[in-house]
Amino acid sequence: MLSVKDTARSPTLTGKPRKFTITNTGTAPALAVIYAVATGSPALPTDTTTLSNCTTLAPGASCTITVTPGATPSSARGDRTPVPVTLSVGGSNTNLLSPTVQVVGYANVYQGGYVFAIDDTTPDTGSVGGKVASLDDAGGAPAPTKPWSTTNDVVASTSLTDGQANTAAILAQYTGSELPSNYAAGLCSTSSNGGVSGWYLPAICEMGHDEAAAGTGCGSAASPLVENMQSNLVADGTLTGLPPRYWSSTQSSMTNAWQQEFAIGLASGTQTPGAKAGDLTPVRCARALTY
């Protein structure tokens, strides 16, 4: 996967060129190695370019195909079933390889969720990193509402930006004494939304920013602390029909944890504390991209 190049939208969207390495593992030369978009595959975005130094490869030799993305993603924002571009790579006397290319920006779907954070600093021989929000609320339809916890315990889940660490702390506290289906972080930990695992309950600043100065420290719409769902999925209307509030994994006191109220089509939502064992809300999970 590659990131679009759109630094006007965000400095993280650098459009870093990425490359496939092709190696001749046989004992004879690979002749006339070329590549093309595979028959039946969608085309590359018009502003994505490719460059190859592949010709004839001696045994053990390698060549590269470099893909440089532009500002256009390879699928529409919000498209829940994107089809990646497939390349066909081979020589006149070799088997064919079929690497895939997907250029994404915010709100494109990848690895089971809507992309809301992108890390384009990963090595150029692999995919970008980042984070996605689940396509749907956890627990099926209609989505169940859950407490943050069933008891008021001090849990080491106070990170504003690391929902994975928060979720691990919550699970460590309640695994063995509570069924995962009974509390928000547990529900994320067992989710297979989008056909993948590895979901966690996002931290409050992964969900939005603190425009109303409620005290979360998540920054403002103009300068959020980190890339987040409100800024990159909700403000533009990609996520719609959302309920009033969602739990974050960030505890604010022994009895409360932060909740995010998304504002569809608006720059800013609201962040408020909720009673951990009393309030019931749906659960929207997040996961880190694997690359």
Higher pLDDT, 269 or 50: 50
Share of the chain above pLDDT 70, in %: 100
Residue 191's CB is within 10 A of a number of other CB atoms, namely 25
pLDDT per residue as tens digits for the range 146-165: 999 988 887 899 999 999 99
Instruction: Report pLDDT for 133.
Output: 97
d(CA 167, CA 162): 9
Query: Please, are residues 247 and 184 in contact by the beta-carbon 8 Å criterion?
Result: yes
3-state DSSP: the chain helix, strand, coil percent, rounded to 5? Answer: 10, 30, 60
CA-based radius of gyration for the chain: 22
What is the structure's pLDDT at 75?
96
User: Which region, left, alpha or beta, applies to residue 23 given φ > 0 means left and ψ of -120 to 50 means alpha?
Assistant: beta
- Res 140: pLDDT: 80
Q: Residue 109 carries which DSSP code?
A: E
Q: What is the pLDDT of residue 11?
A: 95
The per-residue pLDDT for 141 is 76
pLDDT band at 245 (very low <50, low <70, confident <90, very high): very high
Cα 158 to chain center, whole Å?
Answer: 22
- For the stretch 14-72, pLDDT in tens is 999 999 999 999 999 999 999 999 999 999 999 999 999 999 999 999 999 999 999 99
| Three-point CA angle 8, 11, 16, nearest 5° | 100
* Burial of 21: CB neighbours in 10 Å, binned 0-12, 13-18, 19+: exposed
Identify which of 146, 133, 135 has the alpha carbon closest to the alpha carbon of residue 184. Answer: 146
195-227 as b/e, with b when 16 or more CB fall inside 10 Å? eeebbbbbbbbbbbbbbeeeebebbebeebbbb
- Kindly tell me if the per-residue pLDDT of 266 is higher than 90: no
In this prediction, residue 142 carries a pLDDT of 79
Tokens matching residue 48:
């994505």
Which tens digits make up the pLDDT trace of 86-105?
999 999 999 999 999 999 99
| Band of residue 284 on the pLDDT scale cut at 50, 70, 90 | very high
Residue scoring higher pLDDT (285 or 150): 285
pLDDT of residue 95: 95
Residue 143 pLDDT > 90, yes or no? no
**Contact, 217 vs 210, CB < 8 A?**
yes
pLDDT at 112 over 80: yes
pLDDT at 155: 83
The pLDDT of residue 163 is 98
What's the mean per-residue pLDDT of the chain? 95
Q: How far apart are CA 111 and CA 197, in angstroms?
A: 10
pLDDT over threshold 90, residue 244: no
289 pLDDT higher than 80: yes
Tell me the percentage of the chain whose pLDDT exceeds 90.
88
pLDDT tops 90 at residue 175:
no
Which pLDDT belongs to residue 215?
94
Categorize the per-residue pLDDT at 173 as very low, low, confident or very high, splitting at 50, 70 and 90: very high
